[in-house]
A and B are shown apart, each in its own frame.
Chain A
Amino acid sequence: MVELLLLSRLQFAITVAFHFLFVPLTLGLAFLVAVMETVYYKNKDETWRRMADFWGRIFKINFAIGLVTGLAMTFQFGTNWGAYAEFMGDVFGPPLAVEALLAFFLEGTFFGAWIFLDRSRQKLKAFSMWMVALGTNISSLWIITANGFMQNPVGYEMAADGSKVIMTDFLALVTNGYVWYMLVHTLLSAYLLTAFLIMGICAYHFLKRNNSEVFRKSFGIAVVIALVTAVMLPVLGHGYAQYVAELQPAKGAAMDAIWETGTSVPMYLIQAPDSSTGSNSVQLLGIPGLASFLYTGSFSGTITGLNQLAQDELPPVGMVFWSFRLMTILGSLFIIEALLGLYLQKSGKLYTSDKYLKLLMWSIPLPYIAITAGWIVTEVGRQPWIVYGLLKTVNGISSVPVSDVLLSVVLISAFYLVLIVFEIYLIKKTVVNATGVE
Chain B
Amino acid sequence: MFDFLTHDMLAVVWFFLWCVIWGVYFIADSFSLGAGLLTPFIAADKVQRIQIQSSVGPFWGGNEVWLILAAGGTFAAFPLVFSKMFTFLYLPMMLLLIGLIARGISVEYLHKDDNPRIQQFLMWGWFAGSLLVSLVLGVAFANFFKGLEIASGGVYKGTLPGLFGPYALISGVLFVLMSVTSGALWINVKTEGAVAAKAGDLAKKSALLVLIFALVYLAYSFAGVEGFATNYSSMPVLYLLPVLAVGGAVLSVFFAKKGRAFPAFCSNLLAFLFIVEGGLASIYPYMLKSSISPEYGIDIFEAASSHMTLSVMLGGALVFVPIVIIYQLWAYTLFREKITETEQVEY
Q: How far is the CA of A115 from the CA of B334 in the complex (A)?
A: 12
- Flag whether A355 is at the interface (Cβ < 8 A): no
Chain B nearest CB: distance from A110 CB in Å? 8
Q: Which single member of A104, A167, A411 contacts B309 (CB below 8 Å)? A: A167
- Flag whether A64 is at the interface (Cβ < 8 A): yes
Q: Which single member of B101, B104, B306 contacts A167 (CB below 8 Å)? A: B306
Q: How far is the CA of A71 from the CA of B68 in the complex (A)?
A: 7
Chain B residues whose C-beta falls within 8 Å of the C-beta of A415 in the assembled complex: 98, 101
| Given A101-B321, A101-B324, A429-B113, CB of A112 within 8 Å of CB of B101 | no
- Flag whether A100 is at the interface (Cβ < 8 A): yes
Q: Nearest B residue to A65 by beta-carbon distance?
A: B105
Query: Which parts of B308-347 form the interface with A (CB within 8 Å)?
Result: 308-309, 312-313, 316-317, 320-321, 324, 327-328, 331, 334-335, 346-347
Chain A residues whose C-beta falls within 8 Å of the C-beta of B72 in the assembled complex: 74, 93, 96-97, 99-100
- Flag whether A312 is at the interface (Cβ < 8 A): no
Q: Nearest B residue to A94 by beta-carbon distance?
A: B76
Cβ-defined contact, A94 with B309, below 8 A: yes
Chain A residues whose C-beta falls within 8 Å of the C-beta of B327 in the assembled complex: 105, 109
- Flag whether A117 is at the interface (Cβ < 8 A): yes
Q: Which single member of A79, A86, A429 contacts B93 (CB below 8 Å)? A: A79
Cβ-defined contact, B331 with A90, below 8 A: no
Query: Which parts of A401-416 form the interface with B (CB within 8 Å)?
Result: 401, 404-405, 407-408, 411-412, 415
Cβ-defined contact, B316 with A101, below 8 A: yes
Q: How far is the CA of A176 from the CA of B129 in the complex (A)?
A: 40
Cβ-defined contact, B334 with A124, below 8 A: yes
Cβ-defined contact, A75 with B98, below 8 A: no
Q: Which single member of B68, B83, B90, B321 contacts A89 (CB below 8 Å)? A: B83
Q: How far is the CA of A99 from the CA of B60 in the complex (A)?
A: 19
Chain A residues whose C-beta falls within 8 Å of the C-beta of B101 in the assembled complex: 68-69, 71-72, 415, 419
- Flag whether B216 is at the interface (Cβ < 8 A): no
Chain A residues whose C-beta falls within 8 Å of the C-beta of B324 in the assembled complex: 101, 105, 109
Q: Nearest B residue to A86 by beta-carbon distance?
A: B83
| Given A102-B320, A116-B346, A166-B308, CB of A93 within 8 Å of CB of B79 | yes
Q: How far is the CA of A392 from the CA of B313 in the complex (A)?
A: 27
Cβ-defined contact, A411 with B69, below 8 A: no
Q: Nearest B residue to A164 by beta-carbon distance?
A: B79
Chain A nearest CB: distance from B338 CB in Å? 14
Most interface-central of B57, B58, B64, B327 (chain A CB within 10 A)? B58
Q: Nearest B residue to A405 by beta-carbon distance?
A: B90
- Flag whether A369 is at the interface (Cβ < 8 A): no
Cβ-defined contact, B61 with A112, below 8 A: yes
Interface residue tally of chain B, by bracket? 35 or more
| Given A94-B312, A97-B313, A109-B62, CB of A422 within 8 Å of CB of B86 | no
Chain B nearest CB: distance from A195 CB in Å? 25
Q: How far is the CA of A408 from the CA of B105 in the complex (A)?
A: 19
Cβ-defined contact, B75 with A96, below 8 A: yes
Cβ-defined contact, A90 with B306, below 8 A: yes
- Flag whether A185 is at the interface (Cβ < 8 A): no
Cβ-defined contact, B112 with A61, below 8 A: yes
Hey, what's the 0/1 contact readout for A63-81 against B, CB within 8 Å counting as 1? Answer: 0110111111011011100
Cβ-defined contact, B65 with A408, below 8 A: no
Q: How far is the CA of A107 from the CA of B105 in the complex (A)?
A: 16
Hey, what's the 0/1 contact readout for B92-103 against A, CB within 8 Å counting as 1? Answer: 011011101100
Hey, what's the 0/1 contact readout for B222-240 against A, CB within 8 Å counting as 1? Answer: 0000000000000000000
Chain A residues whose C-beta falls within 8 Å of the C-beta of B112 in the assembled complex: 61, 426
Q: How far is the CA of A408 from the CA of B108 in the complex (A)?
A: 24
- Flag whether A108 is at the interface (Cβ < 8 A): yes
Chain A residues whose C-beta falls within 8 Å of the C-beta of B62 in the assembled complex: 105, 108-112
Chain B nearest CB: distance from A101 CB in Å? 5
- Flag whether B244 is at the interface (Cβ < 8 A): no
Chain A residues whose C-beta falls within 8 Å of the C-beta of B312 in the assembled complex: 94, 167, 170
Cβ-defined contact, A86 with B76, below 8 A: no
Cβ-defined contact, A411 with B71, below 8 A: no
Q: How far is the CA of A98 from the CA of B73 in the complex (A)?
A: 9
Chain B residues whose C-beta falls within 8 Å of the C-beta of A318 in the assembled complex: none
Chain B nearest CB: distance from A262 CB in Å? 44
| Given A78-B83, A85-B83, CB of A60 within 8 Å of CB of B306 | no
20 contacts between A and B (CB under 8 A): A64-B108, A68-B105, A72-B97, A74-B75, A82-B83, A85-B82, A92-B75, A93-B75, A97-B72, A97-B77, A100-B68, A102-B320, A108-B65, A110-B62, A112-B62, A112-B331, A167-B306, A170-B312, A408-B94, A412-B97
List 4 extra interface pairs beyond A79-B93, A113-B334, CB under 8 A: A75-B86, A99-B72, A108-B64, A116-B54
Per CB-CB distance, the 6 closest pairs between chain A and chain B, nearest first, are: A89-B79, A78-B86, A93-B76, A109-B62, A112-B58, A64-B108
